[in-house]
Amino acid sequence: MAATSSIRYIKGIGEQRAKQFYKLGIATVEDLVRFYPRTYEDWSHPLSVPEAPLGQPCCIKARLRADFSEHRVRKGMVLYKGMAEDAKGGILQITLFNNKYLAQKLKAGETYLFYGRALGNLLRKEMASPEIQPASCAKIRPIYRQTEGLSSRIIESAVGQALPQMKGIPDPLPPSVRTAYGLPDLETALWQIHFPADGESMEAARRRLVFEELFLLQVGLSQLKARSRGETACILREDTTAAFAAGLPFTLTGAQRRVIAECAADLQSGRPMNRLVQGDVGSGKTAVAAALCHMAARNGWQAAMMAPTEILAEQHYKSLSGLLKGTGVTVGLLTGSASKGEKERVRAALAAGDIQLLVGTHALLQENVVFRRLGLVVTDEQHRFGVAQRAALAAKGDNPHLLVMSATPIPRTLALIIYGDLDVSVIDELPPGRQPIETYAVGTRLRQRAYNYIKKHLDEGRQGYIVCPLVEEGETDLAPARQYAEKLQAGPFRGYRVGLLHGRMKPAEKEEAMRRFSAGDIQLLVSTTVVEVGVDVPNAVIMVIENAERFGLSQLHQLRGRIGRGQYKSTCILISDAQNKEALRRLQVMCSTSDGFKIADEDLKLRGPGDFFGSRQHGLPDLKIADMLEDMEVLRQTGQAVKPLLAADPYLEKEENLPLRKAVEKLFSGAEAAMN
């Protein structure tokens, strides 16, 4: 049996069992030993009866005083009762349900370990259906994620058989790295992660496996990055930022200038830019994009900006046209809903080079969209764009520069991993004069007061949003957006101009609603989350979010970013009757900070990084053991370790690096496909 053998070769695993293992993603012997325990049960330090905590799982060591007695309670229910005594005379009563087999196996006078929850008092406790093992089994036991029909104990026993097959398995971590960072070898680590001798060796094993996982990921990403850094013919010799800035109605912030400079250096370098610009809502990403598109145009190249929705594309088109007004840069718009004639006109102008900056949706990816000289591609909101789509657009030019803008602030280290093939710039400063948005969480009881508060602002000439959650399928308790808007118009907001924006409206209708809201024609916009990204109406100063508990933190943050964009003080009211702890915690976070990075950190803590990694769009492999929050320190170390290794052996050709190369290739075999 080799590491790559099917688990069918393991004793006791037949066809049926094997299928259950497949459900857990386990097909080979190596998959099995790489299926790490979720947690552990500590049977290694059994307690006496007085030491056992009440109501919590623990292990008690005691001697059985007599054989179990049988009690027939009713038809089909037999209890077996036993009594055990610890070394100091503490009494443990044990009840087993319908488990004659176990009850008969246990012998009076023998000492056993009882694992379960104990109830009772100091000297006399009881356990119902504990797990029972001979006293010789005092060790730390692994607990695995289970699936139907496949218990943790079955997995434990299969792993026990698989581990001896790992003898001499090649270790992807080169010896020099293991020595430098004090890491156990792979075989030891695998044994100790499943069947640790003690807490310390388990920790050492875990650290080594986390290190390995992050190390492989970083080696792979570094190689990808190096490969995508070929050469480009798009060399933008002249930095035109100063001319662009001079025409703006505002002064660029220091952060904007720094990020533009970082990008401009890429554009001048002769290597294609692959850069992520992260900036919190309202940090002024559009102006950064405009500066770079301006630079492209001035240097004789075309630029493209792609947005995930029509509304956003239109909004970008307007903002960019505004920011570039008077510069002579020609801006065009191409979306799916434009008329055929309009599309043709735009395409012709593009091919002729008469349009220097083209803004659009996925329509830009179509084959018949031909640029004359594409030099820069900007995509917005990376989270909604697949790597493949970015690549398709990039293929429209000759290795053009790529700029990705994201308003989802994520910790920098995490960004380095998720956007591993990109360099990262952060706009970490808001334009001056922004007033913090005051945020309150209130129960539905106070909804009428919230309405009154909105009215007060509308009367002062301001505008507002009410966000209602999307209606989920099969749900009737939440009025769909339309009904809700009608109710508001007829009732509490009679006499005010109420508008509606929801996801199922036709693009032209959405556009019309947004246009009327921008123009101040609509005073109160009732909307679903379509308003979430990008729209910019500085006169909107109040937002009420219904059923706020239904939204994730980052989503709430994006929504709230629609207000507080002008000179007026803005208020966000989160309406929720939620009682559960996590929801309350989320609302509390929203009320206490408006810092997108802090909110993202909290979001990560509450939801776990699974969501970032789970989205699959980035095409990166899943993490099995590393935790992006807990293991930041290891991530820093692996980053350090990768550099000298790749500097000395960029293609991993040295003998000692061969297992590493194999492992990286295996890890990225899925991800590569997504990137190409």
List of residues contacting ligand ADP (CB under 6 A) = 250-253, 256, 279, 281-287, 407, 431, 536, 538, 565
Least CB distance to Mg ion at residue 277 (A): 11
Residue number, 353 or 431, with CB nearest to ligand ADP = 431
Least CB distance to ligand ADP at residue 534 (A): 6
What is the C-alpha separation between 495 and 32, in angstroms, rounded? Answer: 67
Choosing among ligand ADP, Mg ion, none, which partner's interface includes residue 184 (Cβ < 5 to 8 Å by kind)? none
Contact (Cβ atoms closer than 8 angstroms) between residue 472 and residue 531: no
Query: In Å, how far are 228, 267, 320, 575, 581 from 397, measured between CA atoms?
Result: 15, 14, 22, 48, 51
Residue number, 183 or 291, with CB nearest to ligand ADP = 291
Q: Which residues have a Cβ under 8 Å from the Cβ of 93 and sit 6 or more positions away?
A: 81, 82, 83, 84, 120, 124, 125, 126, 127
Residue with tokens 């979430």: 532
Residue number, 369 or 404, with CB nearest to ligand ADP = 404
Residue nearest to ligand ADP (CB): 284
Name beta bridge partners: 117. Answer: 57
85: region left, alpha or beta (phi > 0 left; psi from -120 to 50 alpha): beta
Least CB distance to Mg ion at residue 534 (A): 4
# chain residues binding Mg ion, by CB under 5 A: 1
Choosing among ligand ADP, Mg ion, none, which partner's interface includes residue 284 (Cβ < 5 to 8 Å by kind)? ligand ADP
Residue number, 253 or 571, with CB nearest to ligand ADP = 253
Residue number, 534 or 596, with CB nearest to Mg ion = 534
User: Is residue 37 within the footprint of Mg ion (CB under 5 A)?
Assistant: no
Query: In Å, how far are 209, 608, 630 from 627, measured between CA atoms?
Result: 12, 8, 5
Residue number, 103 or 540, with CB nearest to ligand ADP = 540
Choosing among Mg ion, ligand ADP, none, which partner's interface includes residue 499 (Cβ < 5 to 8 Å by kind)? none
Residue number, 209 or 430, with CB nearest to ligand ADP = 430
What is the C-alpha separation between 525 and 533, in angstroms, rounded? Answer: 15
Residue number, 431 or 621, with CB nearest to ligand ADP = 431
Choosing among ligand ADP, Mg ion, none, which partner's interface includes residue 252 (Cβ < 5 to 8 Å by kind)? ligand ADP
H/E element, 170: none
Least CB distance to ligand ADP at residue 279 (A): 5
Q: 651: burial class by Cβ within 10 Å (0-12, 13-18, 19+)?
A: exposed
Least CB distance to ligand ADP at residue 286 (A): 3
The piece of 57-65, 436-444, 534-542, 570-578 that touches Mg ion (CB under 5 A) is 534-542
Choosing among ligand ADP, Mg ion, none, which partner's interface includes residue 282 (Cβ < 5 to 8 Å by kind)? ligand ADP
Residue number, 125 or 557, with CB nearest to Mg ion = 557
Least CB distance to Mg ion at residue 431 (A): 13
Pairing relation of β-strands 131-134 and 77-85? unpaired
Contact (Cβ atoms closer than 8 angstroms) between residue 114 and residue 128: no
Least CB distance to ligand ADP at residue 280 (A): 7
Least CB distance to Mg ion at residue 286 (A): 5
526: region left, alpha or beta (phi > 0 left; psi from -120 to 50 alpha): beta
Least CB distance to ligand ADP at residue 291 (A): 10
Name beta bridge partners: 91. Answer: 85, 124
236: region left, alpha or beta (phi > 0 left; psi from -120 to 50 alpha): beta
Three-state SS for 530-591 is HHCCCCCCCCEEEEEECCHHHCCHHHHHHHHCCCCCCCCCCEEEEECCCCCHHHHHHHHHHH
User: Is residue 534 within the footprint of Mg ion (CB under 5 A)?
Assistant: yes
Choosing among ligand ADP, Mg ion, none, which partner's interface includes residue 221 (Cβ < 5 to 8 Å by kind)? none
Using CB under 5 A, list all residues that contact Mg ion. 534
